[in-house]
Structure 1
Amino acid sequence: MTNSIKLGLKENWKQFTVLVIINAFVGGMVGLERSIFPQFAELEFGVATTSAILSFIIAFGITKAIANYFTGRLANRFGRKNLLIFGWIIALPIPFVLIYANHWNWVVFANILLGISQGFTWSSTVVMKIDLVGEKNRGLAMGLNEFAGYFAVGLVAFLTGYIADNYGITPYPFYLGIGIAIIGLLVSIFLVKDTRVFMHKEHTTNKTEQLTNVFVETSFKNKTLSSITQAGLVNNLNDGMIWGLLPMVLLSLNYSTENIGVIAAIYPTVWGLGQLFTGKMADHYSKKAMLFWGMLLQGIAILLIPYSTTFFELAMISALLGLGTAIVYPTFLAAIADDTAPTQRAESIGVFRLWRDLGYAIGAIISGITSDVFGIEYAILLIGCITILSSLIIKIRMPKHIQA
């Protein structure tokens, strides 16, 4: 069976394209909340403290992280397609819960469902694309995957901000989610084929040494894998802060919901579009250098936020933050794939994504507590410093990366 299988982006472009489209719908589910949730929390439920508002990000981050881990563990056993479909089934009730919620706990519950759904759907598309393309174009594959997902996050964040500004915070913005979930599920059922056979094909020729303990080495022991993992955690730690605190900063500066939506959307849109280029770069340039400079650029951009007030300044910072994230995001996954054997790759990526998405929860907790005690400005500055520290860990600890 594996003799008839050919690895490569060109050889599998039809199935690859279907998976790119599906990941755009996966990203769209996150975009529903990106620009309107602080107003949604305060206007609909009277939730005003920063830490309480950020509770929905904490719920999302923890559940997505756990789902990522189990997707990696279960992908070889039950199949990538089955986990993808299961993730979309979990997504179906989310917009309805948000529309009809009469207590903030229901919103937190919706984000638990969203975290589980995102873990299964996004992780499945990542692993399936890596299965299809083989060694040659991993960076490009991950760039296209993450472009589709995060461009959709930005687009839907803009649309929900626009809809909320013109028609109200609820229910109309969440109608988008109903369509996204239904289409994503149907396309996954009828057009996606499982890719485990491609993984077995690569395994017959791949010479990468097996890890003794995938969790321990990806998390702590292997200098390459653990350096990537800590940077992934910090990347999403600062993303969780931006998700929760940037709209609050803009509200305090009296920006309209529509303008908040524009600024909030620039970051994931540049992040998404940039990966069309940075993913391919990761196939040709030093992954270590890309990770260092990307994390450093993020940290500098975050440190500038408290000292900026004009629309142009904040839009530029949002763009710089998106560029820094675009440089590292596909590079994380391509570098993990390079340093793991095909049969262990799904699990190692699952471990990486476990820690990376725990960053959402850790970032929200740190941001919420620091903001409530010292003020939003100090929370932002702290996260910026942590991000710069992460770039230095990459610089000092990670060995020079050998291209695949």
Structure 2
Amino acid sequence: MKPITAVGLAGTGPTTPSRLPRHPVLGLRQNAAQFTLLVAVNALVGGMLGQERTVVPLLAESAFGLRAHTAGLTFIVAFGVAKAATNYLAGALADRYGRKPVLVVGWLIALPVPLLLIWAPSWAWVIAANVLLGVSQGLTWSTTVIMKIDLVGSARRGLAMGLNEAAGYGAVGLTALATGYLAQAYGLRPAPFLLGIAFAAVGLGLSGLVIRETREHAALEAATHQPRSDGRHDHLHADLSSREVLVHTSVREPALSAASQAGMVNNLGDGLAWGLFPVLFAGAGLSVGRIGLLAALYPAVWGLGQVVTGALSDRWGRKWLIAAGMWLQGIALALIALSNSFLPWALAAALLGAGTAMVYPTLLAAIGDVAHPSWRARAVGVYRLWRDGGFAVGAVMAGIIADAFGVRAAVWAVAAVTVVSGVVVAVRMYETRHPAAR
């Protein structure tokens, strides 16, 4: 695959910086209109995910009679595997064909998802819907991340990722809350999923009609890329093959590989929260409305908090914000395992959201710090492959432990793994924030 370089765009002829199309300029303020549109699009992407957070785990037992936790979590496994694989492809496809076509295709794939969930006569239909949802999320969310990194350059990368993830996960939380109340008032189907139909239609319209291609901005940054003065990235060249990008991001490069494992463990916990928290709360006798409130609180704090934490990572650096966030998540999960009522669970959900807010945009910013602009989209794809693979790993792990020892034991296990992941970051990751960009 031909990468984006200082002398050309993937799939085009030679292009010097002076001949870059439409004279792109890097910066958040300079690209405010397109950046804002991309924030709105990512909020719609998050809404597509949020329509499932409260309702689908409850449908597993009430509509389809699934009693075993492992069986009930198969929809998350399907989603996680599909999204993880598509994340990897999204980065490569965005380099080859451009960002906008990938974004539009992702929305086209999202269109039938709410309809399948409304009409599903069997659990197999729910799994099929989540395969499509995973593919769609992999294409749309990955591409909005890549496009925002393209636009802003290095100086405000943390803030850009904070705004992107805040929009997405804020919408996850608000939609989870809304669907919980819709389900309580009108039943589990079809009312909650009508929101998804509207989100998909608006997202496709915006992406097809008003979003512009950003690949030329990545070419501009590649043309003006400045290596670190400490020589830390001298071994990371502009012409890495896709296989080399995979190896560096997964294993070889300390910061990239530490970020990849932290991302996977973070979403391992999110898979647990998505699949088993509603079951745990329902078992304690909470109403569907209160379950929806708890399901919404965690991603809402996570989403809104990222505006602050993303900007802080631009000032303070990435490493210790990530490590501390992983440890805070572990503490919050332990509190959930220990609690038995709404208020302690609400506090724990807020702490879990705060810890995740410290980690989520900062990991993406760290990937952007280290990866050369010519292969950054592919590095983001590899990172998100590992990160969203955590959904599948978490669902399988949590389901097996919950069936054998109970839901609380599964929460304890994930809490322990999360704390260990923070230790790995503290030991292996170096500070990725370029001193010249502070």
Class of the TM-score when normalised by the shorter of the 2 chains: over 0.9
1:169-191: CA deviation from partner (whole Å, max 9, x where unpaired) = 00111111111100000010001
- 1:154 to 2:157 alignment: no
Structure 2 counterparts to residues 202-351 of structure 1, below 5 A: 202-208=221-227, 209-210=236-237, 211=240, 213-351=244-382
Is 1:200 matched with 2:219?
A: yes
Which residue of 90, 93, 99 maps to 2:118? 99
Instruction: Tell me the residue number matched to 1:78.
Output: 97
1:244-300 deviation per Cα after TM superposition (whole angstroms, max 9, x unaligned): 111011001000000000011000000000011011011111211001000000011
Whichever residue aligns with residue 2 of structure 1, its letter is L
Q: 1:58 — aligned with what? A: 77
Instruction: Report if the CA contact (8 A) 1:207-1:341 is conserved.
Output: no
Deviation at 1:222, TM superposition (A): 0.5
Q: Distance in 2 between matches of 1:153 and 1:201?
A: 34
Matched, 1:137 2:138: no
* Structure 1 portions without partners, runs of 5+: none
Confirm or deny that 1:361 pairs with 2:380: no
Aligned partners of 2:152 and 2:200: how far apart in 1?
A: 27
Q: How many residues align?
A: 404
**Letter of the 1:370 counterpart:** I
Q: Hey, what's the Cα distance between the residues in 1 that align with 2:349 and 2:407? A: 17
1:72 Cα deviation (Å)? 0.7
Does residue 67 (structure 1) correspond to residue 86 (structure 2)? The answer is yes
- Pick from 56, 59, 69 the counterpart of residue 37 of structure 1: 56
What is the CA–CA distance in structure 2 between the aligned matches of 1:87 and 1:38, rounded to whole Å?
24
2: CA distance between counterparts of 1:62 and 1:301? Answer: 26
Quick one: which amino acid aligns to residue 31 of structure 2?
N
Matched, 1:113 2:144: no
Amino acid at match of 2:111: L
Q: Where does the alignment leave 5 or more consecutive residues of structure 2 unmatched?
A: 1-18, 228-235
Name the CA distance, whole Å, in 2 between partners of 1:378 and 1:120.
34
Tell me the secondary structure at the aligned position of residue 341 of structure 1: coil
Per-residue CA shift, 1:327-367, capped at 9, x if unaligned? 01110011100101101100000000000000000000000
CA distance in 2, matches of 1:327, 1:78: 33
Kindly indicate whether the alpha-carbon contact (under 8 Å) linking 2:336 and 2:411 is maintained by their aligned counterparts in 1. Answer: yes
Alignment identity in percent? 50
Matched to 1:32, the amino acid is Q
Instruction: State the one-letter code of the partner of 1:222.
Output: E
CA distance in 1, matches of 2:165, 2:296: 15
2-side partners of 1:401 and 1:351: how far apart? 18
Q: CA deviation at 1:402?
A: 3.9
| Separation of aligned partners in 2, 1:156 and 1:400 | 36
SS of 1:102 mapped into structure 2: coil
- 3-state DSSP class of the match of 1:261? helix
What's the offset of the Cα at 1:49? 1.1
Whether the 8 Å contact between 2:39 and 2:167 is mirrored in structure 1 is yes
Task: Tell me the C-alpha RMSD between the 2 structures.
Answer: 1.0
* Counterpart pick for 1:123 among 134, 142, 163: 142
* Separation in structure 2 between the aligned mates of residue 68 and residue 5 of structure 1, nearest angstrom: 26
What is the aligned partner in structure 1 of residue 199 from structure 2? 180
2:284 and 2:341 in contact (8 A); partners too = no
Question: Aligned partners of 2:431, 2:106: CA distance in 1, in Å?
Answer: 37
Cα deviation for residue 312 of structure 1 reads: 1.2
Aligned to 1:2: 20
Cα 1:402/1:28, change in 2 over 3 Å: closer
- Choose the corresponding residue for 2:189, options 166, 170, 180: 170
- Opposite residue 53 of structure 1, the aligned amino acid is G
**Contact 1:263–1:315, Cα closer than 8 Å, also in 2:** yes
Contact 2:370–2:432 (CA<8 Å) still a contact in 1? Answer: no
Paired residue for 1:382, among 389, 402, 413?
A: 413
Give 1:27 shift.
0.1
Q: Which letter maps to 2:67?
A: A
- C-alpha distance in 2, partners of 1:116/1:166? 31
2:421 partner amino acid: S
TM-score (norm 2): 0.91
Give the distance between the partners of 2:151 and 2:248, measured in 1 at CA: 25
Per the TM alignment, residue 401 of structure 1 is displaced from its structure 2 partner at its CA by 3.2
Question: TM-score normalised to the size of structure 1?
Answer: 0.99
Task: Please name the residue that 1:399 is paired with.
Answer: 430
The residue type paired with residue 291 of structure 2 is I
Mapped to 1, the partners of 2:191 and 2:433 lie a distance apart of 50
Distance 1:13 1:22 in 2: 14
Residue range with higher mean Cα deviation, 392-401 or 336-345: 392-401
Provide, for residues 214-255 of structure 1, a one-character-per-residue CA deviation record: whole Å limited to 9, x for no partner.
000100010110001100000000100011111011001000
